[in-house]
Amino acid sequence: MGWHALSNSAVSLRCRASRFCIVCIKHAGLTVIIGAACVDHRTDDLPHLRPDIPTVLVVEDEATQQYILTEYLARQGLSVSAVGTGAMMREALNAAVPRIVLLDVGLPGEDGFALARWLRERYPRLGIIMVTGATDMVDRIVGLETGADDYVTKPFDTRELLARIKSLLRRTEAPPSDAPSAPSPAAVLPEHMVRLDGCTFDRQRRLLVGPDGATQPLTATEFDLLDLFCKHPNRPLTREWLLETTSARDYDSSDRSIDLRVTRLRRKIETDPEHPQSLRTVRGVGYMLVLQFPATP
């Protein structure tokens, strides 16, 4: 049993032998208990969760926020477990797969975007709701593009969060299988190969390989731009930054030059260039290369 600091004035008393945590506030020399919850990170009892109660896994490293979420959702009749890191999340999933994961973006180590991609690859039917303090629309776009089903920003109304969870539970219906789905063929590609919408990018040989094995060469400027996108996947890149970073060759100083290069690339890498799936436009920002399996920088 021991005390753990939550903030300058709040602490928690956690009993190592149980899943019980007391949250207190210290003020004027007094310690006041403000609540308690089952927020322990142990996962050995997860396989015994009742199948008739929807299960939610909270992935949140901030203890106060973790307490608020677990305590509120448990009172709403949900079976709630909580962990604080990506590694602990994987451990929990090995024990039992929940219906929904509430995933904080700003986790230590692996961030929520990377974990959302990992979850979506292995558990296609799992519900994922991302939670973040950021209000930037770009963050929301990236979160949804990387596999999340929904997105809420802090501070949020717990009743709204509950409504979103219930809505997602209706959409997902049956719980996902405990066994991860088979990995995509893209997962076993060599590190220098990148799976795109209509082809594979061979960064080593500086060319594209079609589904039938036919190769298509890239110009120097096309390779530079596509390789740059691969080094920064699933992240909106501004036209100005792209222009500045790749202008060592034959780019002129206008925005239009980047737009033209992107158009030409789309004709080569997309199945339907008019409706791109890999190289997407982020309105008001620039472009983003969406990869299910990010390339090695």
CATH architecture assignment, domain 38-172? 3-Layer(aba) Sandwich (3.40)
In tens digits, the chain (297 residues) has pLDDT values of 444 444 444 444 444 334 444 445 444 444 444 444 444 443 333 334 445 688 999 999 989 889 989 999 999 999 999 999 999 999 999 888 999 999 988 888 888 888 888 888 888 788 889 887 765 565 666 666 667 888 888 778 888 889 889 888 887 664 444 444 444 444 456 778 898 888 999 998 899 998 888 899 888 888 889 999 998 888 899 888 888 887 644 445 555 778 888 999 999 999 999 989 899 998 888 899 988 655 555
What pLDDT does 90 receive? 92
What pLDDT does 155 receive? 79
How far apart are alpha carbons 282 and 139 in whole angstroms?
Answer: 11
pTM here? 0.46
Q: Which long-range contacts (CB under 8 A, 24 or more apart) does 107-111 make?
A: 107/59, 107/61, 108/61, 109/85, 110/85, 110/86
- Report the SS3 class of residue 72: helix
What pLDDT does 213 receive? 85
What pLDDT does 201 receive? 93
Task: Show Cβ contacts of residue 166 under 8 Å, excluding neighbours closer than 6 positions.
Answer: none
What pLDDT does 131 receive? 86
Q: Checking DSSP bridges between strand 100-104 and strand 79-83, what pairing results, if any?
A: unpaired
* Helix 255-269 vs helix 220-231: crossing angle, to nearest 10: 90
What pLDDT does 183 receive? 41
What pLDDT does 123 receive? 83
How far apart are alpha carbons 162 and 215 in whole angstroms?
Answer: 50
Domain coordinates in residue numbering, the chain? 1-37, 38-172, 186-289
284 φψ region: left (φ > 0), alpha (ψ -120 to 50), beta (else)? left
CATH architecture assignment, domain 186-289? Orthogonal Bundle (1.10)
